[in-house]
Amino acid sequence: MKRYYAQKLISAVFVLFIIITLNFFLPRMMFDDPAQPYYAGVPEDAYALRQEIREANGFNDPLIVQYGAYLGRLFTLNFGTSYIYKEPVFQVMFSRIPWSLVITLTSMVVSVIVGILIGAYVGKRREMTADKVLLGFSTVTTAIPSFWLALVSIMLLAFIIPIFPYRGAMTPGYTLGFHTIPFLVVFLLFIAAAIALRIILRKSIFLFTVIPAGLLVALLVAVPPADVLDVLYHAALPLIVVIFGSCISYSLLVRNSMIAVTSEDYILTARAKGLPPRVVLYKHTFRNALLPLITNVGMSLSGLIGGSVLIEKIFSWPGMGQLLLEATNNGDYLLSQAILLLFAILTITFNLITDLVYHKFDPRVTRA
Amino acid sequence: MKAKRLLCLLLAALMLAGSCLLFAGCGREEKYAGALVIGSSTLPKNLNPYSSTSSTFFVDLFYDTLLGAAATPVGYTADPENFRFPDGSTFTPVDTSNNPLAFTDNLLSYEGALPRPDGSDYGYVYFDPTEEQWEEQCERESIREGFDEVGLPIEETHEEFLARAEETVPRENWMEFRFAVRPGYTWNDGTPFTAEDIKFTFDYIIRHKAELSSQAYFLTDYYQSSVEEDGDFVFILASNNYSAMKSICNSIVILPQHIWQTVRKPQEEKNLNPVGTGPYYLKAEDYIADSSITVTIRDDYNEALLREDFAGEPVANISVQLMSNLDVLIQSLQQGDIHMIMDTIDTTKAYQVMNNSAYSNIDMSSTRNDFVTTLLFNVGPYGAFREGELNGYSQQIREAISLCIDQQSLISEVLFGMGTTVGDGLVQSYMAHALVDENGNYVEHHTDVAAANALLDTTTYLKDADGYRGLTFTVLASPEQETLVRAIGNQLAAIGIRLEYEMATSTYAEDIKQYNHADFDMILNSVTFGADKLLMFSARYGTYNTGSPRVFNYSGVIDEELNELMLQMERTANTQQQYELSREVQARIAELAVEIPLFSQNMITFYSDSVFSGWIETEGSSIWNGYTLRYLKVN
């Protein structure tokens, strides 16, 4: 068992090292002169000025020295200063993550819950009306590009029937209020409670439920209610668009999985043993049918931080997707490098977690 | 059972609709009601006047340059009653069609520092730096720091430095400029604007030249400055580079010394509360990163600087709000949520909107542009159009293509009419149909397909049964330009020439410099022309001091005679002389590169005058520049 964990961990670290190295060398391969983005407005013949810029930013050092310095900076979370924002890259990135999470996390939680409910309901009604409706819907949602759906939803629900706002995360002129001390107090209390429950009742489930719940409560305490409502009001339309597509896809996944599991021999055995249909459904069929969903959700978790580039662009939502687009368009490669590295770290981490959680649900994995 | 399900569905639908309506009530009160709202797909991340990620729009609102500058209003007629400024000065721009450096010649002394008229138009004097009092020339910073005039390191002794300095620093025609500062002129925080601020700005840029490199470049020839006892500001250029003086006056934004003297990292420190001499200012709470920037008109802004015939309430607040998608921007303008779009609109989108009655409340500003789209031929060592190629008929084929081009049709088909015809300014002298009239003036292009066919019939490329001559050329262009390539191809079919579009995989200049490229015959280029679209201004040709071609010199032209002509033109103070030299430059370029002008695409912006009016269109500029917005008033 320990060997399995160690193997997974070593391979994750190795992949991460490769990605970090690529992340350093790729921008240097993209430009003839990697200092190019720093020369904004400096003509080609201003050699002295360009030389000073190169020197000031360490581009005159040998490549291996630059690489060493890059690794050193990574360990101190120093990703440099963003060329377009004139702020530390770390600060710029982390100011955007919460905004992306509002859309991605909310939509994922809602989509997974709704997806499981619909999928389970339809899974046991194969070839019936509900099943046909779901399949029809899935064809439609697969065929409709999300940006088109976003534009149509803006047209319908923001312009023709002006119910929702269509741009930004808050009403223009307002910023999100945040009270740090109440946030920390409430969140730490919940963490303490989760640890206490884990120790007293010896159930790990408290760590996974109480802490996220604590984060939510702490956020609600720390942010003024008017701001929470304003953000939710502005998030409504992007959420509708994202949830519309993803909940159908999760429903279909659970539905297919349910159908596949139902035809397995162990389900037949369970029925033959005379177990009640409800027990067969929830304890044997449903639990096993969730395995593909866990993999899928695990893979999608890394995308939570990344946000949705298209949706964020159309709704002018200040998330990570927009940030990556801006960084790429403006040649701010320190920023894009850091964002891609963050995505890579998250992907590797969530894949690792998925592997480990999967083992809990399906012990055959480690045995294999 | 069915009835129960239907009831459930109905209840769910009602709940959903109820939630939506409830949610609709969650909207907050608009903070900027009554403001002029501008939608933009990008917002500046920084408002420092010298930040490379700032925006000239905001710089125009907050700051003024040394002299101030103004664009020419569309439809301008030399009527001083219509365009007189409140300080009494009359707007008398130089005729841009005769001035190759027009964009720097609109020096307009309506605010800030005024050039002294002593001695000459712009108050400069020449002197010889080898005179004793100018010996300290050898102490110039670039020399002290070990770089020569082109920025290459000098590895010599101090004496050799001095010797080199005498060689590299021009010995004569240094220029001294003297400016008077308008009394009573203040920064938006109430501090008086003085010559000390101007001197501080120049010295500050030199001190931070690595960070403020694009501004420091304008001061390459700057030697020193001083504040005189009478409050005048004097600065000296260590060369006779007249155009450098103009760039300094028009491009360097003067900084308030009392604010900036503590700023150590001008590129990194965010300035969210800019202090300037412009008409608007920003309160710190009105900068919402990646959402909106809202500015407020100064209470103490000199009313005399507003337009004389200005009536009604000026625009108190301008709010620029981020909307990343163009369709959303247009829809928002149509709904009245915003009053203007800050982005440039392409002609296809403009045509769709203007021909849709649903958008009848949207107005379009379509102004002439400085840029002319041209078809540039590959005359490089691998190009089909180099001398002697195409069986020796290169010249005839080039001329036939030129004769065949119908600019008006291209403008109709590709730009939906939103463009301007241009002259044949860049074709070779052997093309008898083009160039000049009997008075020696450049003329507009004319089309003669019959003459083109007749010319080709003199070559070995005769038409076969299907009407083609066995001549097929490849045009490398971006996907957005494919329609244009196809339209040109349709026209060339009339003379039996086939054109094939090839998608450019990169827009990076080095990749498509035709001089080194074997795989295509033509590219689409963009060249700066004068206001009358007949004379090309030289900015994109020639080489740097090091001999390498300039960035947009797609032909890779390297020619000493051309460089010499361009230098002369850029350094001449006399407008008429500049014009004459510009013609020589153009003729020389036409001999070195083969380029057929096609049209000039208009610059298009959408706006609505439902709430604000007084919009002013300016030649070669979008309607949303900070200057023209000063003329708006609430209806």
From the list B42, B270, B546, the residue facing A45 with the nearest CB is B546
Mean pLDDT of B481-502: 94
User: Which region among A330-339, B88-97, B294-303 has the lowest average model confidence (pLDDT)?
Assistant: B88-97
Interhelix angle A89-123/A225-262, rounded to 10 degrees, is: 40
Q: Hey, of B53, B221, B545, which one would you mutate to test binding to chain A, going by the most A CBs within 10 A of its CB? A: B53
pLDDT at position B209 is 73
Q: What is the C-alpha end-to-end distance of chain A, expressed in Å?
A: 11
Domain contains B31: no
Which of B29, B51, B217 shows the shortest C-beta gap to A86?
Answer: B51
CB contact under 8 A, B332 and A167: yes
Q: Which one is predicted more confidently, A230 or B165?
A: A230
Q: Do the Cβ atoms of B213 and A46 come within 8 Å?
A: yes
Closest CB to B331 among A81, A155, A164 = A155
Of B55-59, B329-333, B350-354, the one with minimum mean pLDDT is B55-59
The reported pTM is 0.79
**Residue A159 in tokens:** 């312009």
Cβ burial of B306 (10 Å; 0-12, 13-18, 19+) is: middle
Kindly give the interhelix angle for B347-354 and B326-335, rounded to the nearest 10 degrees: 30
Q: Residue A362: what pLDDT?
A: 67
- Selected for mutation to probe chain A from B152, B218, B325, B566 (highest A CB count within 10 Å) is B325
CB atoms B53 and A322 under 8 Å = no
The chain A residue lying nearest B31, using CA atoms, is A173
**Three-point CA angle B519, B525, B528, nearest 5°:** 155
Residue of A nearest to B334 (CA): A159
A86–B268 C-beta distance less than 8 A: yes
B530 has a pLDDT exceeding 60:
yes
pLDDT tens figures, B191-203: 888 889 889 988 8
Predicted local confidence at residue B159, as pLDDT: 58
Contacts of B508 in chain A (CB under 8 A): none
Which of A179-193, A328-342, B328-342 is predicted with the least confidence, judged by mean pLDDT? Answer: A328-342
- Rounded to an integer, what distance in angstroms lies between the CA atom of residue B404 and that of residue B499? 13
Question: What is the ipTM, given to two decimal places?
Answer: 0.80
Q: Give the span between the Cα atoms of A72 and A81, in whole angstroms.
A: 15
Of residues A52, A86, A169, nearest to B46 (C-beta): A86
From chain A, the residues in CB contact with B325 under 8 A are 151, 313-314, 316
pLDDT band at B321; cut points 50, 70, 90 = very high
Q: Name which of B270, B190, B265, B199 is nearest B232 in CA terms.
A: B199
Greater pLDDT, A186 or A46: A186
Question: Average pLDDT in the B314-330 region?
Answer: 90
pLDDT in tens, A280-318: 887 788 878 887 887 788 777 766 766 678 889 899 999
> What pLDDT is stored for residue B21 in this prediction?
58
Domain layout of chain A by residue ranges:
2-30+77-178+223-367
- Identity of the residue numbered B258: H
Distance CA A315, CA A107 (A): 15
User: How many CB contacts within 8 angstroms connect chain A with chain B?
Assistant: 158
CB B90 within 8 A of CB B80: yes
CB contact under 8 A, A318 and B291: yes
Cβ atoms within 10 A of the Cβ of A53, count?
Answer: 20
Which chain B residues are within 8 Å of A159, Cβ to Cβ?
Answer: 331, 335
Residue type at position A360: K
Q: Is the CB of residue B407 less than 8 Å away from at least one CB of chain A?
A: no
CA distance B401 to chain A (A): 35
Q: Do B463 and B413 lie in a common domain?
A: yes
Q: Give the residue on B whose Cα is nearest the Cα of A30.
A: B508
- The model's confidence at residue B142, banded by pLDDT at 50, 70 and 90, is very low
B418 and B307 share one domain: no
List the 193-232 stretch of A: residues with Cβ below 8 A of B.
226, 229-230, 232
At B395 the pLDDT is 87
Structure tokens at A217: 């409560």
Structure tokens belonging to residue A269: 């055995």
- CATH number of the domain within which B336 lies: 3.40.190.10
Interface residue of A42, A45, A82 to substitute, partner B, most B CBs within 10 Å: A45
Instruction: Give the number of domains in chain B.
Output: 3
- Looking at residue B120, its pLDDT comes to 29
Among B3-17, B189-203, B227-241, B443-457, the range with the most confident prediction by mean pLDDT is B443-457
Asked if B180 and B247 sit in the same domain, the reply is: yes
Q: Based on the domain organization, do B427 and B338 belong to the same domain?
A: no
Average pLDDT, chain B: 74
**CATH number, domain containing residue B245:** 3.90.76.10
Are residues B519 and B418 both part of a single domain? yes
Contacts B294 to A, Cβ<8 Å: 172-173
Q: What are phi and psi of B594, to 5 degrees?
A: -115, 120
Alpha-carbon distance B212 to nearest alpha carbon in chain A (angstroms): 9
* A330 contacts in chain B (CB < 8 Å): 53
The pLDDT value recorded for residue B450 is 95
A140 touches chain B (CB under 8 A): no
Q: Is A106 helix (H, G, I), strand (E, B) or coil?
A: helix
Is residue B364 one of the residues assigned to a domain?
Answer: no
Q: Give yes or no for residue B546 having a pLDDT over 70.
A: no
On whether any CB of chain A is under 8 Å from the CB of B243, the answer is no
Residues whose CB is less than 8 angstroms from the CB of residue B435 and which lie 6 or more positions away in sequence, other chains included: B424, B425, B427, B429, B442, B443
Residue type at B542 in one-letter notation: G
User: Which residues of chain B have a CB within 8 Å of the CB of A155?
Assistant: 331
pLDDT of residue B409: 96
Q: How confident is the model at residue B606 (pLDDT cuts 50, 70, 90)?
A: very high
* Residues B347 and B292 reside in one and the same domain: yes
Does residue B269 lie within any of the structural domains? no
Quick one: pLDDT band at residue A119, thresholds 50, 70, 90?
A: confident
CB atoms within 10 A of CB B467: 10
Given pLDDT bands bounded at 50, 70 and 90, which one contains residue B85? very low
Instruction: Assess whether B297 and B380 both reside in one domain.
Output: no
Name the minimum distance, in Å, from the CA of A125 to any CA of chain B: 16
**CB distance from B305 to chain A under 8 Å?**
no
Q: In this structure, which long-range contacts are made by residues A238-242, counting pairs with CB atoms below 8 Å and at least 24 apart in sequence?
A: A238/A103, A238/A150, A238/A311, A238/A312, A238/A315, A238/A317, A239/A103, A239/A106, A239/A107, A239/A110, A240/A153, A240/A157, A241/A146, A241/A149, A241/A150, A241/A153, A241/A311, A242/A103, A242/A104, A242/A107, A242/A111, A242/A146, A242/A308, A242/A311
Same structural domain, B444 and B561: yes
Q: Which of A171, A314, A324 to mutate to test the interface with B (most CBs of B within 10 A)?
A: A171
pLDDT (0 to 100) of residue A210: 85
Contact B20 A56 (CB under 8 A): no
Residue length, chain B?
635
Residue B196 sits at φ, ψ, to 5 deg, of -60, -35
Q: According to the per-residue pLDDT averaged within each range, which of A203-217, B292-306, B362-376, B457-471 is highest? A: B457-471
Using pLDDT thresholds of 50, 70 and 90, give the confidence band for residue B309.
Answer: very low
Which 97-136 residues of chain A touch chain B by CB within 8 A?
none
- The C-alpha of A166 sits at a distance from chain B's nearest C-alpha, in angstroms, of 8
Provide the pLDDT for residue A363.
Answer: 65
* Mean pLDDT within A175-196: 90
For chain B, give me the number of helices (H) and strands (E)?
Answer: 17, 21
**Would you place residue B27 in the very low, low, confident or very high pLDDT band (cuts 50, 70, 90)?**
low
Contact B217 A43 (CB under 8 A): yes
Q: B340 or B64: whose pLDDT is higher?
A: B340
The verdict on B5 touching A (C-beta cutoff 8 Å) is: no
Whether B506 has its CB under 8 Å from any CB of chain A: the answer is no
Q: For residue A136, is pLDDT > 80?
A: yes
Nearest to A166 among B270, B288, B328 (CB): B328
pLDDT digits (tens, 9 = 90+) for B212-245: 766 777 777 777 888 988 888 887 777 666 666 6
CA-based nearest residue in chain A for residue B320: A172
Write the burial class of residue B274 (CB in 10 Å: 0-12 exposed, 13-18 middle, 19+ buried).
buried
Asked if residue B210 and residue B95 are part of one domain, the reply reads yes
The values of phi and psi at residue B209, to 5°, are: -70, -25
Residue B476 has pLDDT above 70, yes or no: yes
One CATH from 3.40.50.300, 3.40.50.10470, 1.10.3720.10, 3.40.640.10 for A2-30+77-178+223-367: 1.10.3720.10
A51 touches chain B (CB under 8 A): yes
Q: Report the run of H or E that residue B120 belongs to, with start and end.
A: none
Residue B172 is predicted with a pLDDT of 53
Q: What is the model's pLDDT at position B118?
A: 38
pLDDT at res. B449? 94
| Residue B392 forms part of a structural domain | yes
CB contact under 8 A, B322 and A155: no
- Categorize the per-residue pLDDT at B306 as very low, low, confident or very high, splitting at 50, 70 and 90: low
Q: What is the pLDDT of residue A204?
A: 74
User: Is there a contact between A299 and A350 (Cβ–Cβ < 8 Å)?
Assistant: yes
The yes-or-no verdict on residue B341 having pLDDT over 90 is: yes
User: pLDDT at position B548, please?
Assistant: 61
pLDDT in tens, A100-110: 888 888 888 88
Inter-chain CB proximity A172 and B30 less than 8 Å: yes
A49 with B213: Cβ contact below 8 A: yes
pLDDT at A17 > cutoff 80: yes
Instruction: Tell me, yes or no, whether B584 and B615 share the same domain.
Output: no
Asked whether residue B328 carries a pLDDT value surpassing 90, the answer given is yes
With bands split at pLDDT 50, 70 and 90, how would you rate the model's confidence at B543? low
Q: Say if B530 falls within a structural domain.
A: yes
Q: Hey, which of A209-218, A323-332, B464-473 has the most confident mean pLDDT? A: B464-473
Query: Could you tell me which of B419, B436, B425, B514 has the C-alpha nearest to residue B474?
Result: B514
A11 at the B interface (CB within 8 A)? no
- Cβ pair B529, B369 in contact under 8 A: no
Q: What is the DSSP string of B325-355?
A: -HHHHHHHHHHTS-SEE-SPPPHHHHHHHHT
Q: CA-CA distance, A3 to A76, in Å (whole number)?
A: 30
Domain carrying residue B182: 64-129+170-260
Tell me, yes or no, whether B53 lies in a domain. Answer: no
In a domain, residue B312? The reply is yes
Is it the case that residue A96 has pLDDT exceeding 70?
yes
Q: How far does the CA of residue A42 sit from the closest CA of chain B (Å)?
A: 5
Residue of B45, B294, B339, B545 to mutate for A, most A C-beta atoms under 10 A: B45
Question: Is residue B433 in a domain?
Answer: yes
Query: Please, what's the b/e burial string for B121-150 (b: 16 or more CB within 10 A of its CB; e: otherwise)?
Result: ebbbeeeebeeeebeebbebebbeeebbbe
CA-CA-CA-CA torsion sign (B246, B247, B248, B250): positive
| Among the ranges given (B351-365, B446-460, B535-549), the one the predictor scored with the smallest mean pLDDT | B535-549
Report chain B's terminal Cα–Cα distance, integer Å. 62
pLDDT value at position B592? 83
A264-268, B385-389, B555-559: range with lowest mean pLDDT: B555-559
Largest CA distance in chain A: 87
Cα separation, B562 vs B588, in Å, equals 6
Any idea which of A41-50, B75-84, B582-591 has the lowest mean pLDDT?
A: B75-84
Q: In this predicted model, which residue has the larger pLDDT, B14 or B296?
A: B296
pLDDT beyond 80 at B297: yes
Question: Is the CB of A42 less than 8 angstroms away from the CB of B213?
Answer: yes
* A285 has a chain B CB within 8 A of its CB: no
Average pLDDT, chain A: 83
Q: Mean of the pLDDT values across residues A30-43? A: 66
B343 φ/ψ angles, rounded to the nearest 5 degrees: -85, 155
Residue B273 or residue B96, greater confidence = B273
Q: Do A318 and B294 touch (CB under 8 A)?
A: no
Same-domain status, B342 and B459:
no
Tell me which chain A residue has its CA closest to the CA of residue B325: A314
Q: What is the pLDDT of residue B497?
A: 95
- Whether B432 and B531 map to the same domain: the answer is yes
DSSP run (H or E) holding A188: helix A180-201
pLDDT at B630: 65
A152 part of contact set with chain B, CB < 8 Å? no
Least confident interval from A187-201, B91-105, B457-471: B91-105
Highest mean pLDDT among A59-73, B407-421, B606-620: B407-421
Are the beta carbons of B632 and B612 closer than 8 angstroms? yes
B576 versus A174: the higher-pLDDT residue is A174
